[in-house]
């Protein structure tokens, strides 16, 4: 699944045959310019490496289909937030949302109140969380699109603001209760895939209830709507977009609102996974924003805006999740999680270097 991206024309416009390009150069071009192909290759490399290590007895636990399927529960919130980051990065002018993790924390608390304390049914409570997330995104979008704040500064400020409100709104205590606890049993469920599921491990239900609908909606918005075309045009060159009649500020503002709505949905997912609405759900440890940005960049989203692929982002999320599932099995003790951070940093540097190289040599990814 890919979006239509206004990729700048590549310097090597002539056919490989006409330019006498070697087979190796053509393969390298395909790997660098078609990000989904590269990520699939890296994904296979990661899987083969850990499977071989498992067969050789170098892992402390099995790295098999059940492990990979269970790891998908971590893919749901990370991939959704990476798609949210994709929307704001594509909007250009240094677009980024550092507050996305604290938005998850704050909207999670609001969802907890709505569902547990106010007694709202589940669907209205989810809508409340989405609206709250949209409002958080609207504040970011207003500061950035209409007041001209740099996205880095604006979202860093709101990161602190949202995180603080999430902590004080319930005296730093999580929202718990029977209703929220009941969500945990639903989130922990796995279901069998139709037709071929008998031969495969069961898949966490969050993949079907939250991740796949989000992927489809984001893809349709970006690839099949006039707003999506305006968003890519704004990110590519907002001055040209302005002269073309695009309301650049409104387009950029809505990107942050959509990102906030997705964060509200992620808050529901994390509340179900933790069996409570935690005030630090999106900010504890290293938070959820940095992994989401890493996945978006690895997935081929140009940090300068205007270029992105939904499929690349989802595959990049899968790569990070399955890599993180194997590292603790290869490294015993408490060092495993620390090496996960090292791997994430290495992935981010690799992705940034790769994006720069691809842009300089081939004019960008596709």
Q: Mean pLDDT per segment of 10 residues, for the chain of length 366 residues?
A: 46 51 74 79 91 91 91 94 96 94 96 94 96 97 96 96 96 92 82 76 91 96 95 92 92 97 96 93 87 90 89 94 91 78 81 74 64
Distance CA(179)–CA(170), nearest Å, equals 18
Q: Tell me how far apart the alpha carbons of residues 71 and 325 are, in angstroms, rounded to a whole number.
A: 6
Q: Rounded to whole angstroms, how far apart are CA atoms 280 and 106?
A: 8
Residue 262 to residue 268: CA distance in whole angstroms: 10
Long-range Cβ contact pairs of 189-194 (< 8 A, separation 24 or more): 190/69
The residue with tokens 């989401």 is 292
pLDDT at 148: 94
* pLDDT at residue number 229: 94
Given this model, what pLDDT does residue 106 score? 97
How high is the pLDDT of residue 191? Answer: 83
Query: In 3D, which of 280, 64, 73 has the Cα closest to residue 164?
Result: 280
Return d(Cα 318, Cα 79) in angstroms, integer. 8
């Amino acid at each position: 699944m890919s979006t239509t991206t206004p990729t700048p024309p590549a310097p090597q416009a002539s056919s490989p045959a006409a330019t006498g390009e070697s087979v190796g150069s053509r393969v390298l071009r395909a790997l660098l310019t078609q990000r989904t192909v590269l990520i699939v290759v890296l994904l296979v490399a990661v899987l083969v490496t850990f499977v071989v290590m498992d067969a050789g007895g170098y892992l402390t636990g099995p790295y098999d289909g059940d492990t990979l399927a269970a790891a998908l529960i971590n893919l749901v919130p990370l991939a959704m937030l990476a798609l949210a980051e994709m929307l704001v990065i594509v909007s250009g002018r240094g677009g980024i949302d550092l507050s996305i993790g604290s938005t998850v924390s704050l909207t999670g608390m609001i969802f907890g109140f709505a569902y547990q304390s106010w007694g709202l049914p589940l669907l209205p409570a989810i809508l409340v969380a989405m609206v709250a997330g949209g409002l958080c995104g609207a504040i970011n979008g207003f500061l950035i699109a209409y007041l001209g704040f740099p996205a880095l500064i604006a979202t860093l400020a709101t990161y602190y603001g949202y995180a603080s409100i999430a902590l004080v709104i319930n005296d730093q205590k999580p929202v718990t209760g029977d209703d929220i606890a009941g969500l945990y049993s639903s989130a922990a469920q796995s279901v069998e895939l139709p037709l071929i599921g008998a031969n495969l491990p069961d898949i966490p239900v969050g993949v079907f209830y939250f991740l796949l609908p989000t992927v489809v909606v984001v893809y349709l918005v970006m690839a099949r709507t006039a707003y999506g075309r305006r968003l890519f045009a704004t990110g590519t060159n907002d001055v040209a977009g302005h002269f073309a009649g695009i309301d650049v500020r409104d387009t950029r503002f809505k990107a942050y609102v959509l990102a906030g709505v997705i964060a509200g949905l992620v808050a529901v997912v994390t509340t179900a996974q933790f069996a409570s609405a935690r005030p630090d759900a999106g900010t504890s440890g290293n938070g959820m924003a940095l992994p989401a940005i890493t996945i978006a960049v690895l997935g081929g989203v140009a940090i300068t805006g205007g270029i992105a692929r939904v499929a690349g982002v989802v595959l990049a999320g899968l790569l990070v999740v399955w890599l993180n599932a194997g590292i603790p099995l290869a490294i015993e003790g408490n060092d495993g999680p620390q090496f996960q951070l090292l791997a994430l940093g290495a992935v981010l540097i690799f992705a940034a270097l790769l994006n720069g190289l691809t842009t300089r040599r081939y004019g960008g990814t596709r």
